Amino acid sequence: MAVKKKSRTVLKRMRSSERKAEYRGRVRSSTRTQLKKAHTLVAAGKVEAATEAVLVAISKLDKAAGKGVIHKNNAARHKSRLMAALNKAKSA
């Protein structure tokens, strides 16, 4: 069976998909990095630094959810768990 030539539209969609995948990967990676930093600071008990890191992580999560990179409930779940851990560390 002969291979059909890809249409211009298909090629354009492929390029578009590659760009979107690269962008989403960068956003997801930076969001995960900030989450990990915040969690490690909370676990270490450094409350002041952890508070700032948590705010940055929450901002990253909100931006990622707003852009559609992650689902809004996923962002809400991470924010909730992060704040619970921070509040627990503050009270201890």
Residue 1: the pLDDT is: 66
Domains of the chain: 33-92 (1.20.58.110)
Q: How far apart are CA 29 and CA 53, in angstroms?
A: 16
pLDDT for the residue 92? 83
Residue 85: CB atoms within 10 A of its CB come to 16
Question: What's the confidence (pLDDT) of residue 31?
Answer: 97
Successive 10-residue mean pLDDT values, the chain, 92 residues: 83 96 97 97 95 97 97 98 96 88
- The predicted structure's pLDDT at residue 79: 98
pLDDT of residue 6: 87
For residue 39, which phi and psi values (nearest 5 degrees)?
A: -65, -40
pLDDT of 5: 83
pTM: 0.85
